[in-house]
Amino acid sequence: MVTHSPQYCRMQLTAKNVVILCVIFLLFGFSNFRGNAAGSTSSCIFDTVWHKKEWQLFNDADDQKMRKEIDFILYMMGRGDLQESLFLIRSIREPGIEWQDSLHFLTGWVHYLRKDLQASAGYLLRVSPESPVYHKSAFFGAYNLAHTGNTSGAAAVLSSVEAEFGTMPYAMRHLQMSGVALLDRNFELFAQHSGGFSGHYHVMAAEERRMLQHYERLRNIPGKSPFVGGMLSAAIPGLGKIYAGKTGEGIVGFLYVAALGLTSYDFYRGSGAGHPLFILSATVTGIFYFGNIMGSAAAVRRSNNELKHEMDQRILFDMHIPLRNAFN
């Protein structure tokens, strides 16, 4: 019979206790992780919405109830319940003045996530310069205005943004103003602000280079005239659509008019100018011929609009990405 000393038994008991405690700890940790998964989502959206320094907004506040309400709003935002988040923000009664900037920012950010950019700009631009989220709010508010076509409003906001020379917000203001200038095709204003491109900030260096490329492309793109497109199709059916960049449509248009014209000529040779079949065929040919002229002019306008839309989307993209990189 093997006997163990009391010291050995105590050691064995202690080892068992350690193992049991480890298992309990792991089970509790797993359960706590599952129970707080949504809470971690709230934390993620919190980190997305605010910079580290912006935690100061909440840590210095005495109103713990308000803190809990905003934490719950962030949790709902993390879940994607944006409509419910707006309802909760609006249901807060008589918030202290120290919370106004926070609530304006949160409301604007919810609208931004909902892609309601006009409403988002309205709230973000209410954030005061004293707020830690002032620059983020001002730049995103100006971008939202530019995206909705209000470039004059965006330029006014950016011109009023307070930023010290040599800082990242100062460089960001130049980039955003240059983007607005390109959206307006104001090349002189672009030249003024692109002079402030430094390439020192990695969050926007690539976009600064692309803005210069957009500028060169816009300057060198020849404007196509709908009148010229119509006259070309009057001379040779379909040529105006080829001029507009719609080669396939131009070839099809030429074939249609040519086939109808040959049919009309065949009726003319066989039956004479007074025959009903010739009159009907010539009428249809004329309709297609003049329709081809008008269609070519419209194709040039459509091509110009498509190119403008494409360039505007590229410019807006290169305005947006640096904001996401710098402030998120």
The string of pLDDT tens digits covering residues 262-318 is 988 888 888 888 888 888 988 998 998 999 999 999 999 999 999 999 999 999 999
CA–CA dist 22, 9 (Å, integer): 20
Q: What integer pLDDT is reported at residue 24 of this predicted model? A: 45
Place 12 in a pLDDT band, splitting at 50, 70 and 90: very low
Question: How many other C-beta atoms can be found within 10 angstroms of the C-beta atom of residue 221?
Answer: 12
Q: What integer pLDDT is reported at residue 181 of this predicted model? A: 97
Q: Is the pLDDT of residue 127 over 60?
A: yes
Q: What integer pLDDT is reported at residue 63 of this predicted model? A: 63
- Contacts with 101 (C-beta within 8 Å, 6 or more apart), sequence order: 57, 126, 127, 128, 130, 131, 133
Mind giving me the DSSP string for 138-184? HHHHHHHHHHTT-HHHHHHHHHH----TTSHHHHHHHHHHHHHHHHT
In the chain, the amino acid numbered 34 is: R
pLDDT digits over 96-114, tens only?
777 889 899 999 999 999 9
Q: What are phi and psi of 194, to 5 degrees?
A: -65, -20
CA–CA dist 150, 188 (Å, integer): 19
CB 297 within 8 A of CB 225: no
Q: Any idea which residue has 């006014």 for tokens?
A: 156
Which region among 49-53, 149-153, 289-293 has the lowest average model confidence (pLDDT)? Answer: 49-53
Q: Is the pLDDT of residue 54 over 60?
A: no
Q: Is the pLDDT of residue 158 over 80?
A: yes
Encoding tokens for residue 321? 């990405």
CB 203 within 8 A of CB 168: yes
Q: What integer pLDDT is reported at residue 2 of this predicted model? A: 44
Q: Is the pLDDT of residue 180 over 70?
A: yes
Q: Between these two residues, 259 and 10, which has the higher pLDDT value? A: 259
Q: What integer pLDDT is reported at residue 53 of this predicted model? A: 44
CA–CA dist 154, 138 (Å, integer): 10
Mind giving me the DSSP string for 21-52? HHHHHHHHHHHHHHHTHHHHHHHHHHHHHS-G
Q: What integer pLDDT is reported at residue 189 of this predicted model? A: 95
